[in-house]
Amino acid sequence: MVIRVPLAEEAVDVSVVAWNSWPHLRRSLPAMIAQDYPTYRVIVVDNASEDATADAVASQFPDVEVIRSDRNEGYGAANNRCFSRSEGRFVAVLNPDAAPEPGWLGALVRALEEHPEAAFATSKVLLASDASRVNACGLRVHLTGIAACRGLGDDQHGHVMAASVPAVSGAAFIARRHVLEEIGGFDERFFMYMEDVELSLRARIAGWDIVLAPRSRVAHDYALDVPAWKFYYLERNRVLMLLKLLQWRTLALLAPALIAGEAGVWLYALRAGGGLASAKARSYAGIVRALPSVLRSRRAVRRIRRAPDRMLLDVLDSALPQAPGAPAPVLMRAANALFSGYARMLRALVRW
């Protein structure tokens, strides 16, 4: 049953961040409030929607709690508002355009109960346009910080076993509340994109694992497109994440791969068009503006560090993700061969 009173310890808060999301929520909220988990609370954090999302949710779904922001604070900040109100052991995050199947929430909780070493469990996210195909079973993360959906396009009958994954998909996952209190919530400077990857890698630095909960399934209204505004945040936040999390000596050894990655990103941006090259150039200015505060946050990362960088390198991928507009296959194969060799060298050299 959905509750709006103070939660028992075993209850779960489900955080749903909305911005002009009523067309999605009118379809997904019935599935959210029909879960068979004993006690949970659905909280919609409305980021100053212009389409009366908050009023519509409050009117048509009275069992759902609504938090209203007077401005668009971004995905991370809005989720953090929900995290700060949570009283149970677990907090779940769900996109407004992700409709959960029956048993979604219970399967997430069971995954964490069965894996005490895991801070987060991520759902099997299916494509709403073709539920026979996977959108994401967690995320892959490249050595250069580029993230991609793990299993994108795979048959949904695969990925049936619980498995350690590099990072959660922000579309649907669950977290231990005490871990969020220990390491902090989402980095609000990111505004949108890459904050799920940064949070995941920060949890790994604190010594935690991340698992896929394959019986927890949602259908996500997903499209593989990268407009210029999205590319700006992806590129800015990717670099900020690496500067925040990795030790300086690791970054120094990683520098040749990062430079090669930058060249590849520029090649992709120029080939894809659509203003991506301009967005990439603007991302450097965004990095410079955020750099002082990000560098200060490295001290907080040092305080929670329990795992060495070499363990983090073990979960990073040496193969670049495929994307529309990517360089020719022969160039991709050559790049991946170079990254693979460099990754082996890094794992041999980095002992800290």
Cα–Cα distance between 225 and 105 in angstroms, integer? 29
Instruction: Provide DSSP, 127-196.
Output: ETTEEEEEEESSEEEBTTS-EEETTTT-BTTS--S-EE-SB--TTEEEEEHHHHHHH-S--GGG-SSSHH
- Lowest-pLDDT choice from 50-54, 222-226, 337-341: 222-226
- Lowest-pLDDT choice from 140-144, 171-175, 250-254, 322-326: 322-326
Would strands 118-127 and 172-176 be described as parallel, antiparallel, or unpaired?
antiparallel
Query: Which pLDDT score, from 0 to 100, does residue 335 have?
Result: 87
Residue identified by tokens 């990254």 is 339
116-160 pLDDT, tens digit per residue, is 999 999 999 999 999 999 999 999 999 999 999 999 999 999 899
Q: Compute the half-sphere exposure of residue 208: CA atoms within 13 Å on the CB side of its CA.
A: 25
103-114 pLDDT, tens digit per residue, is 999 999 999 999
Confidence band of 333 (pLDDT split at 50, 70, 90): confident
Cα–Cα distance between 165 and 177 in angstroms, integer? 20
Burial of residue 180 (CB within 10 Å: 0-12, 13-18, 19+) is buried
Residue 285 corresponds to which tokens in the numbers above? 């200015």
Confidence band of 285 (pLDDT split at 50, 70, 90): very high
Confidence band of 2 (pLDDT split at 50, 70, 90): very low
Would strands 40-46 and 12-18 be described as parallel, antiparallel, or unpaired?
parallel
Helix/strand/coil for 40: strand
- Whether the CB-CB separation of 97 and 190 falls below 8 Å is answered with no
Query: Which domains, and CATH codes, for the chain?
Result: 12-220 (3.90.550.10), 228-349 (no CATH)
Other residues' Cβ atoms within 10 Å of the Cβ of residue 110: 16
Distances 201 to 121, 172, 234, 313 between C-alpha atoms, Å: 14, 17, 16, 10
157-213 pLDDT, tens digit per residue, is 989 999 999 999 999 999 999 999 999 999 999 999 999 999 999 999 999 999 999
